[in-house]
Structure 1
Amino acid sequence: MAIDLNCSTCHSDERVVLVERLSGTQRKLKCEQCGYEWLRGEPERQKVPLPTLEDIKKRFPKPGDVDPQKLARANKLKVEFLEREPEPDPNVAPYWAKYQQVFSADGLTRANPQDLKDFANSNIGANPGNMSVFNEAWNEMGPEAGAHQVRKAVEYLLRGTSPVDIEDRLTGLISDTKSFGMKGFKESLLTKVLCIAYPDRYLTILKYTGVAGKREIASSLWGLDLPDPETANWTIGRLILWSNDLLLALLGEGFRHQQHAAEFLWWAKDKA
């Protein structure tokens, strides 16, 4: 099989043959006149596998990153805090139970619009802050349209399947990349929904960063430098949920419920 190429050694192009097809466009050629062999073309580029969600999460700060002295200080504050026996807020348990039913798969479709608006403006068990943006949007849309959008947002957050990971659905709702979102129903309210739907899983600290967000608490109490959402290449949903998991791991046992644990964190942050 002759190939129209010149041998760089003897300059012959009459007895150049193909020896082997390699990856991509690369081929091994040989001049049968002088025996010289060479490569021509480009090899196939190796594809670097994309990291999985678990691979990425491994780079997030962990309890083992805490300085032992700061860990001991936080544990001492925990002991001091748990010696107190504050009276539980009697309104929290029935409120939580009501909205667990409201946000259930069956309850959400029948949820009263006023209940959904009241949820956004209530500070029972967790304070979402100023909801003027939500209230303005709700009033402009009207109760039925507003309730429809809130139902869509909650359903997608709790039971959506695309994407599979709740961190990424949370990001989509906060960043307005999904049509399921409701104006003003963002980080603090979405986190509050998670706190009610999964009361043993999420702390009632509704902001990742702020005056007393998860990031500031981790820094003040344990000396951990969590990623800045404005500069770090991390999605907001992952920062919110992974910081929640980190704080839970650092807190350990002994708290009656997540509101109790959150009360400790706010108290200890100022003490530290």
Structure 2
Amino acid sequence: MSLAMCPLCSDDEDIEVRATLGGGRRMLRHRCGYEWEHRQPPSPQRHTAPSFEVLRARFPKPEDVDPERMERVARLKAQYLEIEPDFDARVAAYWSKYQEVFAPDGLQTCNPQVLKDFANSEIGARPGNQATFNSAWNGMGDAAAAEATRSTIGYLLYGPGEVPLEERLQQLLDGTKPFAMTGFKEALLTKVLCVVYPERFLTILTYMTDAGGKREIARMVYGLELPAPESVSWTRGRLILWSNDLLRGLVGDGFANQQHSAAFLWWAKDRVERCG
């Protein structure tokens, strides 16, 4: 490979390095006798994707909310707790039942119908129409469908410790795990997390929907613009968890449970702009 091209005769053959000057500079001489100083072009920069930690640090934080907006939400919260001081009493018993079902031993021995019922129940959280899941279940049969559902839930909750929950969730959303149950996607995976970690997870089961997911609620209630899920670096798995933690921190305490907190956010999203 030639070193450079002689600027006098535009030939790149028989070029000799006469001296190395440092800083990527060299003194070159062509066979025609012409000498010149040549600077080596810089190596192209490789753009690496931001790390997990960098992206997490960039994600919006509670302190990013305008203080005046927070005051309006606080007034709405006080109003809401006066008219809705508690939440559906059935939820606690239902959550307790499925916490036992989703424990490692319970997951392996539970009746298949218990898993199918979970996907279609609206107690405590509404996962929406599960036609894809139900069709897959019916086509596979109870035994095979239950095994796939057990494997999916087990990987989400108890997968390799070195793989963060955000990444396990993304793998199941992408369907890259061969055991993943068809149709057991964002709403149902999030509902599982709500049951097993009831102090952490709000029962808002989608990140972004036309009707309003976590992203829309963050914008409408708190005036925060969260990243679009189309970004490869963010990944939907990360956005689902990080937006939950953000809203959980913003909504604060004083509610009976996280279903109660989520119900307030749904109620507030159409009222905060009108709250003086």
Which TM-score bucket, shorter chain as reference?
0.7 to 0.9
Write out the 4+ residue segments of structure 1 that deviate beyond 4 Å after TM superposition: 4-9, 16-23, 26-31, 36-50
Change (3 A) 1:30 1:181: same
Q: 1:117 offset after TM fit, Å?
A: 0.5
Paired position in structure 1 for 2:222: 222
Paired position in structure 2 for 1:58: 57
Q: Does 1:207 align with 2:206?
A: yes
Q: Kindly report which structure 2 residues correspond to 1:238-257, keeping only aligned pairs within 5 A, or say none.
A: 238-257=238-257
Change (3 A) 1:266 1:55: same
Q: Kindly report which structure 2 residues correspond to 1:39-54, keeping only aligned pairs within 5 A, or say none.
A: 50-54=49-53
Change (3 A) 1:17 1:126: closer
The answer to whether the Cα contact below 8 Å between 2:87 and 2:259 also exists between their aligned partners in 1 is no
Change (3 A) 1:18 1:253: farther
Bigger RCO of structures 1 and 2 (CA < 8 A, at least 6 apart): 2
Q: RMSD of the alignment, in Å?
A: 3.4
Q: 1:45 offset after TM fit, Å?
A: 5.5
The answer to whether the Cα contact below 8 Å between 1:22 and 1:43 also exists between their aligned partners in 2 is no
Paired position in structure 1 for 2:121: 122
The answer to whether the Cα contact below 8 Å between 2:148 and 2:180 also exists between their aligned partners in 1 is yes
- What letter corresponds to residue 151 of structure 2 in structure 1? K
Q: 1:123 offset after TM fit, Å?
A: 0.9
| Paired residue secondary structure (1:191) | helix
The answer to whether the Cα contact below 8 Å between 1:156 and 1:180 also exists between their aligned partners in 2 is no
Q: 1:180 offset after TM fit, Å?
A: 2.9
- Per mean C-alpha deviation after superposition, the further-off stretch among 98-107 and 134-143 is 98-107
The whole-number CA distance in structure 1 between the counterparts of 2:259 and 2:213 is 14
The whole-number CA distance in structure 1 between the counterparts of 2:193 and 2:130 is 18
The answer to whether the Cα contact below 8 Å between 2:207 and 2:240 also exists between their aligned partners in 1 is yes
Change (3 A) 1:43 1:100: same
The whole-number CA distance in structure 2 between the counterparts of 1:85 and 1:187 is 28
Change (3 A) 1:162 1:40: farther
Q: 1:256 offset after TM fit, Å?
A: 2.1
The answer to whether the Cα contact below 8 Å between 2:115 and 2:149 also exists between their aligned partners in 1 is yes
The whole-number CA distance in structure 2 between the counterparts of 1:217 and 1:252 is 15
Change (3 A) 1:6 1:143: closer
The whole-number CA distance in structure 2 between the counterparts of 1:101 and 1:109 is 11
| Paired residue secondary structure (2:269) | helix
Q: Kindly report which structure 2 residues correspond to 1:167-206, keeping only aligned pairs within 5 A, or say none.
A: 167-206=166-205
Q: 1:62 offset after TM fit, Å?
A: 2.0
Change (3 A) 1:269 1:38: same
Segments of 5+ residues of structure 1 without an aligned counterpart are none
Q: Kindly report which structure 2 residues correspond to 1:1-272, keeping only aligned pairs within 5 A, or say none.
A: 50-84=49-83, 86-161=85-160, 164-210=163-209, 211-229=211-229, 231-233=230-232, 234-272=234-272
Instruction: Encode CA deviations 1:50-104: one digit per residue, 9 max, x unaligned.
Output: 4221201222222222222222111110111122454542321121111111111
- What letter corresponds to residue 127 of structure 1 in structure 2? R
Task: Give % identity.
Answer: 52
- What letter corresponds to residue 174 of structure 1 in structure 2? L
Change (3 A) 1:84 1:184: same
- What letter corresponds to residue 120 of structure 2 in structure 1? N
- What letter corresponds to residue 245 of structure 2 in structure 1? D
The whole-number CA distance in structure 2 between the counterparts of 1:149 and 1:245 is 29
- What letter corresponds to residue 67 of structure 2 in structure 1? P
Query: TM-score, normalised to structure 2's length?
Result: 0.81
Segments of 5+ residues of structure 2 without an aligned counterpart are none
Change (3 A) 1:22 1:120: farther
| Paired residue secondary structure (1:177) | coil
- What letter corresponds to residue 192 of structure 1 in structure 2? K
| Paired residue secondary structure (2:199) | coil
Change (3 A) 1:75 1:213: same
The whole-number CA distance in structure 1 between the counterparts of 2:42 and 2:222 is 50
| Paired residue secondary structure (1:58) | helix
The whole-number CA distance in structure 2 between the counterparts of 1:162 and 1:136 is 32
The answer to whether the Cα contact below 8 Å between 2:86 and 2:255 also exists between their aligned partners in 1 is no
